[in-house]
Amino acid sequence: MAYGLARRELRPRVPLRHGEGDKYHLTSVEGLAALSLDALSSVAYGPEAIVLVLIAAGTGALSATFPVTLVIAGLLAVLVVSYGQVIAVHPDGGGAYAVGKKDLGPTVSLLAAASLVVDYVLTVTVSLAAGAASLASAFPVLGSHLLAVCLIGLALLTAVNLRGVAESARVLMLPTALFIVSILGIVVLSLVRGHPVAVVGTDQPVHATEALSVLLLLKAFSSGCSALTGVEAIANGVPSFREPRVKRAQHTELMLGALLGLMLIGMALLIRRDHVAPRGGVTVLAQLTAGAYGTGWPYYATNLIVTLALAFAANTSFGGLPVLMSLLAKDHRLPHLFGLRTERPVYRWGVVTLALLAAVLLIAVNADTHRMIPLFAIGVFIGFTISQIGLVRHWAVRRPHGWLRRAVLNGVGAVLTAVAGVVLLTTKFLAGAWVVVVAIPLLMLLFDRIQRYYTTVGRELGLGEVPPPVRVGDSLVIVPVGEVSRLTQHALSAARALGHEVVAVAVHSDPAKVRALRESWDRWNPGVRLDVVDSPQRSLVEPIVEYVQRAEEGGRQIAVLIPEVEPLHRRYQILQNQRGLLLAAALRARTDVVVCVVPYRLSL
């Protein structure tokens, strides 16, 4: 430490590329916007699902909405605590898939992965379709263009997520905040006022078709549990958070649970107090909105905010499914390209695949929300149950301090989610739930076949084994040429640097052109032998392929170096002949030689 200067450790400071560093990962608040809007926006249809089931026993049965909601809120609390544990145990994301793979075996992990994929795709389609329908309620002219509205919204979400999940989170922060304020405002104002300010919608006759029974309460419970979809997304997207990722993700999960539980319980209180029953032309949430704000501009503004929230709720899948697909790719259960990451922390192949699957499903059902609702919650209940059972096994095997209390909590949660899933599946089977029963096994089969392929390839490549010694022998480099030019000189210079022997091969059908080429070659004298192949059919690719095949018969290492003109501007690319690409494709398909393309870059 000379001259009183403190000694500093000298390190080269490499600037971060765009997309690297914590700047492009999520804070807790950004995570709430990016990964929680699906669960939060479910208050738009979760309480209504309970009401629609209970009304079958008459308006008097609607008083059961509050106790059913309390049970759902209790299950929500169990799930929030459980997924906080999942985040700590599996900080690389994956949620139920990671738990199933580690604690319940490969088959259960495949079931978890398939159910999560189905749930994520349906989250996108249901959210977009519900948002489009809500928008059409405010602007009837859009009623005949719901599919177009959904596809436009899907394209916008895809573009935003291809920019990066942090950017999409910042875009969603304002709509998320407005939605939370609007819903909590409905609850607080209605409780303060003591009675509804206005009533919207038309009266509908109510005919009790069954008694209020345990089965009906179970149906209401399972239908209302659709409000819990999206709770698992934070655990699946832990890698998207800033450091310390586990703590930030857990804080986000707690914020989600508190907000969602408060909204659900508040709305259930209002439904019971004001005897809110289904009315024509409006949703239950719209009735509660009119009861709190009246029918002035706050009513319309709140409905538009709900529409935006439902549309942006699809962003939860864009944050969670690409991460899950990257984990499946690392486990050799999906093509490895799904594990590729761009400079921004984005798995673009996963984002694009999710967008395509959602677009296909929206087109297939013509953006009809009611045709997708029966499929919606089944996948997520499978994931809930697997994650709970997996954690029970995890605590039983590891037995850390307080393991019994945690195991009991997760066991109760597993029973509740399993019951809800079975009831939902049996009651909605003929209404479309059978599609999920078919799709999930097919996805499991796909994952298994892909894994078998990679296992077989690994055996053939000898991965993990010591290979035989490298053989060193003579090599031959073949260079297809057309005439003497700078392109030919460039290609031959590269070829002579690659192999012991170089031969140039030209294909011609005109004897006069052959004589002219040989004379030019002799005058140039590049020190490389020229072989001319006759082609009466004026074909270029086939004669060279046959020439290479004959050269292979000697057992030598053969390389074919194809010179290719590359314009500076892409608009000129179409003006170049594509023979080099055709020849390279034919050689790769019909020979075992090394194929190289050497570019000659033009100045225009």
Report residue 304 as tokens: 């538009």
Neighbours of 124 (CB within 10 A): 29
As a whole number of angstroms, the distance between CA 290 and CA 285 comes to 9
Neighbours of 118 (CB within 10 A): 23
The pair phi, psi for residue 367, each rounded to 5°, is: 55, 35
3-class DSSP state of 507: strand
Length of the chain as a residue count: 604
Maximum mean pLDDT: which of 103-117, 193-207, 213-227: 103-117
pLDDT of amino acid 189: 92
Looking up tokens 């920019």 gives 163
pLDDT digits (tens, 9 = 90+) for 410-446: 888 888 888 878 887 887 777 777 888 899 999 999 9
pLDDT digits (tens, 9 = 90+) for 455-490: 888 888 777 777 777 676 678 898 998 888 888 898
Question: pLDDT-based confidence at 256, cuts 50/70/90?
Answer: very high
As a whole number of angstroms, the distance between CA 515 and CA 530 comes to 12
The mean pLDDT value for 247-258 works out to 91
Question: pLDDT-based confidence at 94, cuts 50/70/90?
Answer: low
Fold that domain 20-455 belongs to in CATH: Amino acid/polyamine transporter I (1.20.1740)
Report residue 579 as tokens: 């023979």
pLDDT digits (tens, 9 = 90+) for 131-172: 787 777 667 677 788 899 889 989 988 888 887 655 556 677
- Residues 6+ away with beta carbon under 8 Å from 452: none
Q: Which helix (H) or strand (E) holds 560?
A: strand 557-566
Reply yes or no on domain 475-601 having CATH 3.40.50.300.
no
Distances (CA, A) of 141 to 132, 136, 151, 200: 12, 7, 17, 21
pLDDT of amino acid 442: 94
**Over 90: is that where the pLDDT of 325 sits?**
no
pLDDT of amino acid 473: 67
**Over 60: is that where the pLDDT of 385 sits?**
yes
3-class DSSP state of 205: coil
As a whole number of angstroms, the distance between CA 586 and CA 394 comes to 54
pLDDT of amino acid 300: 85
**Over 60: is that where the pLDDT of 344 sits?**
no
How many Å is the maximal CA-CA distance in the chain? 104
pLDDT of amino acid 3: 39
Query: Is the model's pTM score more than 0.75?
Result: no
**Under a CB-based contact definition with an 8 Å cutoff, are residues 188 and 28 in contact?**
no
**Residue 207, Cβ density class (10 Å: 0-12 exposed, 13-18 middle, ≥19 buried):** exposed
Give residue limits of the domains in the chain: 20-455, 475-601
pLDDT digits (tens, 9 = 90+) for 346-373: 678 888 999 999 999 999 888 877 677 6
6-13: Cβ within 8 A, 24+ apart: none
AA letter at 265: I
pLDDT digits (tens, 9 = 90+) for 101-137: 888 888 888 998 898 888 889 888 888 887 787 777 6
**Residue 66, Cβ density class (10 Å: 0-12 exposed, 13-18 middle, ≥19 buried):** middle
Q: Tell me if 20-455 shares its fold with 475-601.
A: no
As a whole number of angstroms, the distance between CA 123 and CA 117 comes to 10
More confident residue, 379 or 72: 72
The mean pLDDT value for 572-600 works out to 84
**Under a CB-based contact definition with an 8 Å cutoff, are residues 51 and 277 in contact?**
yes
What percent of the chain is predicted at pLDDT more than 90?
13
pLDDT of amino acid 183: 92
**Residue 462, Cβ density class (10 Å: 0-12 exposed, 13-18 middle, ≥19 buried):** exposed
H helices within 399-429, ranges in order?
A: 403-428
**Over 90: is that where the pLDDT of 264 sits?**
yes
As a whole number of angstroms, the distance between CA 498 and CA 559 comes to 9
As a whole number of angstroms, the distance between CA 406 and CA 387 comes to 13
As a whole number of angstroms, the distance between CA 148 and CA 373 comes to 20
More confident residue, 518 or 377: 518
3-class DSSP state of 529: strand
